[in-house]
Structures are given as structure tokens and as C-alpha cells.
Amino acid sequence: MMFESVLVANRGEIAVRVFRTLRRLGVRSVAVYTDADAGAGPGRSAAPHVREADEAVRVPSYLDAEAVVAAALASGAQAVHPGYGFLAENAAFAEACAAAGLVFVGPPAAAIETMGDKIRAKCAVAAAGVPVVPGRDEPGLSDEELARAALDVGLPVLLKPSAGGGGKGMRLVRDAADLPDAIAAARREARSAFGDDTLLVERFVENPRHIEIQVFADAHGNAVHLGERECSLQRRHQKIVEEAPSPLLDAATRARMGAAAVAAAQAVGYTGAGTVEYIVSADRPDEFFFMEMNTRLQVEHPVTELVTGLDLVELQLRVAAGEPLPFTQDEVALNGHAVEARVYAEDPARGFLPTGGRVLLLEEPSDTRVDSGLDEGTEVGGAYDPMVAKVIAWGPDRAAALRRLDRALASYTLLGVTTNVAFLRALLADPDVAAGRLDTGLVDRRLADLTGDGSVPDEVLAAAALERMLALEPEDDTDPWAIPDGWRPGAPAWTPWIITPSGGDPVEVRVQGRAHDALVSIGGAEPVQASLARRDRTLLLAYGGRTLTYRHARVGDTLWLGRDGHAWALTEHVRTETAEGAAAAGDGVVRSPMPGTVLAVKAGEGDRVDAGQPLVVVEAMKMEHTVTAPIAGTVTSLPVRAGAQVALDAVLAVIEEG
């Protein structure tokens, strides 16, 4: 019998997505939330998942298993859906739910424990006949043993934490000289992310493709697979675009991989939804190796839903409630093609560093599936994973699905937080992506082309300056002296504006005339005829014979403009800042590239350092970034310590050249 009330032990888009199914099934939903999602403070509202639920209970942390169980009991929930991340693959949490009389919507704790340890997982699936990547995975390998094992397996190798996934703590090593530092960094990140710094080493498969199989098993001995998902497009070992089915596999290979995935699940007494992940060489698509099993719903589950017509959350709930799977393997059919793009609060042009801010304007495509955890007013901070939404498109074939996804991303507008949407559109337009020639290194190889040179189009700068002119024009224009049109006795004057794009250099934009009829000169170039009109949240710009529309929002001196999936943050400055900014560009001031926490300080005041030498390690949104010295010299100031919180562009160190 279906549950009457279910608590979702998660936040953001996955919590909202589970609530959607609960609502359709007539099941009461309960949310948990922390102080960060409470919405306290002027102008702030509670996080969308809090508002979507029938009831919400505050907890100290989404990782506080005891508090989450207590919230479920206090709210009268019968079951707990963990989503993904946080406690989703925590065997102790699954046991705590069972001990409290709550149904954990997931596999048994023993299966989570086995598959959550990569070393034990490889042993279990190998015993079931599933191919595994050559490597060394004995528990307790020392740094020296890991280094020797890497050389025995043969470089290049991957160092991987045994206790978790998501790319955290993973290091690719091609040179033996890099092994000591890579092992130390992998251990540190694994300990921070999972509380366990055990590592294993595996051969790195050249031209690797990441392909996974969705499996489902019930408590009645039935197990099936729902086809595969291609997840090869990644940055920092984390997925950004996923699709189903894979353009690489034929029906025979799909059947073999699916059967092996089912065997892996059955080997550990699995029930519920799970994903068996494989690495496949693009050069030898008939050869596949087990990587790991995720004992939860995957972020990319929507593409499987769109090609199978199944609601995987509903299946999870029904299996957890004791029902048998309602279909057999022979009844599973794939229809068409689906592609998902993950929207991250990050800046691809700055190495995918996390960003943040308040959502000033949000417009999501209405004719495409969007799983989102955002609303206007939502504060995107550094406490949680930077993924904020997913855009998923279906088509009768792969080309149609890619085309529809691109159009959906073009109509996706988020202002106030820098995201990767424009980067995603560039990635989808890559010829190899369009042709299905994928591998996990493609994004890194094409990064410069995909992110561009960071320049802002002239028309965007013109729109920013004209928007300022428009704001200064009085409602009553009968007084010619109050109109900022540059009018003077004799020749009209030019009004100069200093506009600084986010992460860029200041640009002088000179305007002559009024916003509705002006000449605009960008950076001293020849003037261009332009005009600007405002209609609600839209700016209509005529510039050089083109007419363009932008969505806009302003916070303080910064204007956000959005168009075709691009978003620009443009700050108005006084003229004197141009020289100061240029002078500062080549100095020895080292600033934080993202808001976060200082994990390690690798130098001291008075130390001599070389250009490129690591100085400070900063972490935000589960991402670790090493900040290096821009010049050789002496560290004269080091105002941060391990554990300190730092803001974006906060001073980390000052180096005196020489």
C-alpha cells in the first residue's frame, strides 16, 4: 500500500522534483531545511523546496541523520526519500530509519555499504562476472604503496577515493613525478568530502566514455535495467550533459552491459533504483569495465524517464512500499532520444569556479522540462553543490533532441548569478558533440574555444551606457538643462561612462544625445547610431542597424543583461577607477577566485616564492582550488589562516616582486 506521508531528506531541485510525484500520487510531503534555506532577513523568502512541501521542519544540517529521523517522526512521515547527495548513500542513515520504524526509499543498508566502498564493490561485482578496470584496491594502502601500485598498473592512472563519488578527490596522474602531490591532494579532498581518505588506483582508459545503466530491483526477486545513459561530457570529473540512449552502443552491447548491471545489483541483494557506471573506450566500444554503483537516484534520471515513459520516483516509492515491479525486462522499450544539461552557478571562463548571488530575474523555458530549485529572490551561496537546475529535452532522434535543448537553453534567463548556460550552448554546438564523438576529456581539450576570449559585445556595453542615460532622463522633459543629452551651445558634448564587465577590464563608453536617439563610441572607436527603450523588464536596443532585446535587472551600480542564454554583469564606475584598475592588474596582490573556506596555507610571511608556487587552498561548493603566486618575490602579507571564510576577491596574500 502506498505511503500516506513521505519526508524528503534533501533540498533544491531534487526535493522539488520528488514533491511533484508525491503530489500527483496524493501523498503528503514533508521537507527539511536549514538556516541557510530558511529565508530569514529582509527581502529573502524560504527556499523553493520549503514552500513546495505540505510541511517543513528545520534541522541543523542536511547531514544530521539523527535530526532528520526525528523530523520524520515528529511530522508523522512513514518513509524517507533521500534524493541524492547528503545522506542518500549513507548506510548508517538507512539503518537509523529502519530502527525508527521508517521506510528508507532506497536499497538495504548492506547493499549501500558494499557498493559505497569502491574496493568492496569491485570485488563483489567481479565475483558476479562483471568486468572491472585493472588496478589495485586493497584497503589501507600507504602513500608509498599507492605510488608503487600506480607504476605497476602503468601510467596514466586514476587515483580515486574508496568512500565516495561525484569526482571528489579524483586525480589523473600521467607523470611519476606528480604522484606524491596527487596522492596527498586526493587524500585531503577525500577526507574532507567523505571523512575517509582511503584511495585506490586504476588504469586510466584512453579516450574514455562514461556510460551507465539504470537498474531497478524489487523485494520479490525481480530485477531489470532501463537502458543506458551517456555521461561523457564532464568538467572536473563531474557530468554536465547526459543523454539516453548512448550514440556509441548498438543493441547487442546495450544488452550485455544491461545484463552485467543487473547481475551486479543482484550480487548484493539490491532493491530500488540504482545505477551501474561503466568506463568504455571510444576506440573499443564492445569492451566495458565496471567503475562503481550509485545506490540512489541519479541526477540525470530524467533522460531515462523521457525515453521510457516511466516515473522513476514513483517506481522507487512503489518498490519501497513492497510492490513488485509492474513490468518485465521484455516490456522495457526506449522511444526517441533525450538530453539533459545541468545549470551550474559557476564561471566556465574562470576554470568553472563557483559563483553566487541573489536571483534577480528567472525565466525558464515553458515548453521543455526544467527541474529547478530556484525562484526569483533565491540566494545562491557557497554552502551547497553549485547545480541549481536541469534542462531536459526529448526528440524523436538525437539531432532533434539536441536542437530542442539548445533552443530551450537560449530561452533560459537567470540574472544575478553567473551560470554556465552560454557555455552549455557552445558545447552542444561543437561538431564532435553533434556527431556523437564524445569522451570525458573533450571539454578540457576545447575549453578555450568553448569559453571564448571573455570579451563583451559592443552592443551590450552600449545598452549598459544607454540604460544609465535612460534612468537619468526626467519624466518632465520641458527643462532642456535637466536632460542628459550632452547639449551645449555650439557642438553637442559627449557623456562618458566607465563600464566594467564582471571579470574584465573597464571600458569607456561615450554617448552623445538622448537614449532614444544617440551616437555611441566604445573604447574610442567610431561612433555608432543607437537607441534604447525600456518595456517592463525588457530593453529594446537598436544598434548599428540591428535590433536586439535584452532582459535586465539592476542591483546597486551593477546592471545585469540577458539574451540567448548569455548573461552579463556590468558595473558602472567613476572615471578614476580606470587607471587604478589598470595599475593593479600586474601587482603582487593575490585574491580569492571564489567565496569559500581556506583549507590550507602553504606559505608564510617573509617566504620567498616562485611564480606559480601554491600559496593558499580555498574550497567552496565541494570544489577545491589552489591559488598560486602570480609573480616571484617575497610574501609581505598573509592575512588568512586555515578555516577562515573568505569572500570573492578577498586578499589572500601580497607578494613584493624581486
Summarised one tens digit per residue, pLDDT across range 425-468 is 999 999 999 999 999 999 999 999 999 888 999 999 999 999 99
Q: Is the pTM of this model over 0.95?
A: no
d(CA 352, CA 622): 12
Choose among 561, 581, 568: nearest CA to 508: 581
Strands (E), 272-386: 272-281, 284-294, 337-344, 346-347, 353-354, 357-358, 361-363, 369-372, 379-380
Mean pLDDT over 618-641 rounds to: 84
d(CA 370, CA 417): 18
Cα torsion 219, 220, 221, 225: sign: negative
What's the pLDDT at 44? 65
In whole angstroms, how far apart are CA 349 and each of 24, 54, 345?
A: 41, 40, 12
Question: Is the pLDDT confidence value at 171 over 60?
Answer: yes
Question: Is the pLDDT confidence value at 540 over 90?
Answer: yes
d(CA 198, CA 186): 9
Mean pLDDT over 98-119 rounds to: 94
Element (H, E) at 133: none
d(CA 429, CA 414): 21
The structural domains of the chain, ordered by start, are 5-105 (3.40.50.20), 134-203 (3.30.1490.20), 206-333 (3.30.470.20), 336-453 (3.30.470.20), 458-578 (3.30.700.30), 587-657 (2.40.50.100)
How do residues 497-509 score in pLDDT, each as one tens digit? Answer: 999 898 788 899 9
- The three three-digit cell numbers of residue 508, written as one number: 569607456
DSSP track, 225-241 = EEEEEEEEEEETTEEEE
- The three three-digit cell numbers of residue 423, written as one number: 557555455
In whole angstroms, how far apart are CA 581 and each of 571, 576, 577, 578?
A: 13, 9, 6, 5
CB under 8 Å to 460, separation ≥6 — which residues? 550, 561, 568, 570
> DSSP state, 217?
E
Lowest mean pLDDT among 63-72, 93-102, 527-536, 602-611: 602-611
Residues 525, 461 contacting (CB under 8 angstroms): no
Choose among 553, 525, 567: nearest CA to 467: 553
Element (H, E) at 460: helix 458-472
How do residues 317-355 score in pLDDT, each as one tens digit? Answer: 999 999 999 999 999 999 999 999 999 999 998 889 899
d(CA 201, CA 617): 24
